[in-house]
A and B are shown apart, each in its own frame.
Chain A
Amino acid sequence: MLRTSRVLYNFLILVLGLFLSKGWAQENRPVVIKGATILTMTHGTIEDGTVVIENGKIAAVGKDVPSPSDAEVIDAHGEFVLPGLVDPHSHLGVYSMPGVQANSDGNEMTGDIEAQVRSEDSINTDDPEIPRAVSGGVTTVQVLPGSGNNIGGWATMVKLNGGQTLDEIKLAGAPLSMKWAWGENPKRVYGSKGQAPSTLMGEAAVVRQRLYDAQNYTAKWKAWEDGGRKGAPPERNLQLEALADVIAGKVRLNIHSYQVNHFETLFRIADEFHFRIAALHHALDAYMIAPEIVRRHIGVVTFADEWGFKVEALDAIPQNAYLLWKSGVLVSLHTDNPVIEERNYIEQAAIVNHYGMPDEAALQMVTINPAKILGIDNRVGSIDPGKDADLTLWTGNPLELTSKAEKVFIDGKLIYTMKEGFLPWKGRPAGFNFVR
């Protein structure tokens, strides 16, 4: 009796094992994209090339690459393969679609310094913009708090893989990244309440004082630790802890700023406290001080063409990106979603292309350059072996506005087809969750 059940048990295990291994194999079956024009972003364009996807990563790319025998082959002749777009500045999920009051979670405008808030606590993983964004070939997004505060809070980098929870979409291991903002917005928000800051002078004074507070806070903790941790520890302060991280150089700073006087104030503060600025965001007048930005190794994340909507945008020119790029600045584009809809990110590259940017450089500004600026270029932004298989098959040259994303892969998984839409949400009731 015992023997019989053991045999049966072993048999069941065997069957189960076979079943599992078959399932496993299917899940991990390599995918080969053949015949497409491959826009690698790091080593040129490969005509009639092949990309091999294995275990969620890019296994190989080239003109003549052997395909694994068990691979699923996609014939992509006539199509273009581009890395999934990387948007370094978006409010996806924190200003969820539609823009009703209930969805306004991007600006904690109750105090000008909000270093303690984290955008991940606002992100709506059901933002209907997510499937729309993927239909435009966008796969990785840095979600930032808004620009109503001089210090807006922590950024979150996510992949638009359709995950239900933040854990599923959050880019694990991404560097610490924070949003600051300079110029008209914070001084308007607080000036209109009769509070500081109401001028650019005020913005600098408020931020500098708080950075000194953070230095004192660090010193207090150090004293307690140096003193052998005797007595009660100092009270923890989330805001000052965050700013102490900035001063310690642990945080990549993304700073919304437009005019030269904004940039210069920020440079002065960065020099005073010895920290680095990762990138100036929007930065419509950055072209005016291109050499200084090069000297400081600061990236620029800018609009293709967002001239004239307010005074600090009056000197914007659609060749801002071009002049910076020619000067040697690492330049990225962005959507500032919902300012420009996430779905339409590729149009930013098309517009700079219209105003003179060469094709490849324009596309780099929505792929590898933002990945570098975010410090995640080891993972995304180009078609190189070892990187995450975040790829989009475009029906034509992605810079043509008539081209469409036909298939989108994230981590090697097909998550969107033009025919079937956003696969992870397939069959969900329509409501706001649609792709048209």
Chain B
Amino acid sequence: MIRRALIITGLIFLAALPSARAQDTIAIRGGKLLTVTHGVIENGTVLVEDGKIKAVGASVSIPSGAKVIDARGKVVMPGMIDAGDRLGLVEIPGEQITNDATEYSDPIHPELRVLDALNPGSELFRVTRAQGITNAVSTPAAGNLIAGQGAVIGLDGDTVQQLVVESPAALVIDLGESSKSIYAAKGKPPQTRMGQMAVLRQEFLSAQHYQAELKAYGSKQSEKKQETETKEGQGAKSAAPPAKNLKFEALAAALDGKLPVVIRANRVSDIEMALRLADEFHLHLILADAAAAWRLAGQLAEKKIPVIVGPILQEPSSMETLDVRLDNAAILHRAGVPLAFQTESANEVRDLPFEVEYAIGNGLPADVALAAVTLNPARFFGFDDRLGSLDEGKQANIVVLDGMPFHVKTHVLTELINGKVMDLSNRQTELYEFYKKKYGIQ
């Protein structure tokens, strides 16, 4: 029954697709609206115009000529956001040639930008968005100590420019086992956690020195400019500016607080190291992975450190994740820590809703879980003015469901990204339809 409804809805929108342009006005009418910022509105309407949410409420008048999506008996929510994954960077994890997630040449790569590797042609966008995920924070994979700069993307676009919501979104640092195991094999630092911290501190100190040099040069230049103006005609010899250093530029942005710093750390000592680093250099820290974060919940809450947990079903497969537990998110929430979820995957991002359901099953209140996959990641990375809730003025990334989100029996019926109705088919649905027809299966 649900399956049939799904297909019929799909067909309707397939047929409607050519005319469903961003500038169209669309009214999603009569649904149960999970706004995230201002509660639940029963029998509400979301009006979308020019790719943005024009109005949200129980009594929104629908302009004539608007395309109406009947959402009576349905649930309407903002698109889900995965706060950390490899979408656009990895096509087939097992094939290195399709994998641009880790630059193994050096452990220190703050200058790398996910932006430069994103592949808008990735089939993973189609497969992933079919499950209600509209956005992701795409970050380099583990392997290096400083991994590079992540980007916030939407899962629809023909070009990189169309995909990107925010870039750079954060500087990413990995503490613990990953870089030390890779560079130990190459005989390079860091080979220990001591080595990791020493390297990081030195890099940030060098970046501070670079900043100071730039500043000194800048003030010298303005002095000279004043001198030149007063002694007109006498051309002052200008000193060469400090050589542009992309690594230090990226670290400087983090030092200035312009770029949040995602530190992926799992065991208690690694999380403490992340906190020490953030304290010393006044970094805008977002803690991620965080298997043992529940052990430091009070401290994290006190310091108001946002935490990205997940995957929830992560197993203690490595020494540094032995402390992971299913109620990590619930414990952190009870202590007052703001939360988001990540899949840290590429081909399994679409299972994000099930991960959230597990967190709920292990004590996280459902409304908190909803915020953790919508508004919170948008806040953490500073794009909550554009995404993360059903509010006027935000980009129209909206999902219509046949039940409450995250339940196994709930399915995506309709999805909008930037106000455009998405085609929810992909290679998989096409293969399924082909063989179903071939075997005469209903």
Residues of chain A touching chain B, judged by Cβ–Cβ distance below 8 Å, are 97-100, 128-129, 132, 184, 287-288, 290-291, 305, 307-311, 314-319, 323, 326-327, 338, 341, 343-344, 347, 350-351, 353-354, 356, 399-404, 432, 436
Contacts and interface: CB of A to CB of B under 8 A. Distances in A.
B435 A288 contact: yes
Contact of B432 (A323, A327, A341): A323
Contacts, number: 105
B94 A310 contact: yes
B439 A338 contact: no
A97 B317 contact: yes
B299 interface: no
Contacts of B124: 308
Interface in B288-340: 313, 315-319, 321-322, 324-327
Interface in B335-386: 346-348, 351, 354, 357-358, 360-361
A344 B361 CA distance: 13
Interface residues of B, number: 41
Given A354-B409, A436-B326, A401 B92 contact: no
Contacts of A129: 315
A147 to B, nearest CB: 13
30 contacts: A98-B321, A99-B317, A290-B435, A291-B439, A305-B351, A307-B347, A308-B92, A308-B124, A308-B346, A309-B92, A309-B94, A311-B95, A315-B431, A316-B428, A318-B428, A326-B439, A326-B441, A338-B317, A341-B313, A350-B354, A351-B351, A353-B408, A353-B409, A354-B408, A399-B408, A401-B354, A401-B361, A402-B357, A404-B361, A436-B325
A327 B407 CA distance: 28
A382 B370 CA distance: 37
A98 B317 contact: yes
A111 to B, nearest CB: 24
Contacts of A287: 435
A128 B323 CA distance: 13
Contact of B92 (A132, A311, A402, A403): A311
B439 A290 contact: yes
Given A287-B435, A290-B439, A308-B127, 5 more contacts: A97-B316, A98-B317, A307-B127, A308-B347, A401-B357
Contacts of B439: 290-291, 323, 326-327
Nearest to B93: A309
A305 B360 CA distance: 22
Closest 10 CB pairs of A and B: A310-B94, A402-B361, A436-B325, A308-B347, A341-B315, A401-B357, A99-B317, A317-B428, A350-B408, A326-B441
Nearest to B355: A401
A294 to B, nearest CB: 10
Given A351-B354, A400-B408, A432 B94 contact: no
Contacts of B38: none
A307 B428 contact: yes
Contact of B93 (A97, A98, A100, A310): A310
Contacts of A350: 354, 408
A129 B358 CA distance: 19
A174 B313 CA distance: 32
Contacts of A99: 317-318
B400 to A, nearest CB: 17
A404 B360 CA distance: 12
Contacts of A351: 351, 354, 408
A350 B316 CA distance: 23
B399 to A, nearest CB: 16
Nearest to A399: B408
A436 B321 CA distance: 13
Nearest to A289: B435
Interface of B: 3, 92-95, 123-124, 127, 313, 315-319, 321-322, 324-327, 346-348, 351, 354, 357-358, 360-361, 407-409, 411, 428-429, 431-432, 435-436, 439, 441
A130 B305 CA distance: 35
Contacts of B92: 308-311, 314
Contacts of A310: 92-95
A323 B436 contact: yes
A260 to B, nearest CB: 12
Contact of B94 (A311, A353, A436): A311
B408 A401 contact: yes
A336 to B, nearest CB: 13
A327 B358 CA distance: 32
Nearest to B354: A401
Contact of A98 (B319, B325, B357, B358): B319
A327 B315 CA distance: 35
Nearest to A129: B315
B53 to A, nearest CB: 29
Contacts of A403: 361
Contacts of B360: 402
Contacts of B325: 436
Contact of A338 (B93, B315, B324, B351): B315
Contacts of B429: 317
Q: Which of B313, B316, B408, B441 has the most chain A CB within a 10 Å cutoff?
A: B408
B436 A184 contact: no
Contacts of A305: 348, 351
Given A307-B347, A401-B357, A347 B313 contact: yes
Nearest to B357: A401
Contacts of B408: 350-351, 353-354, 399-401
A124 to B, nearest CB: 15
Contacts of A98: 316-319, 321-322
Contacts of A290: 435, 439
Given A326-B439, A404-B361, A344 B313 contact: yes
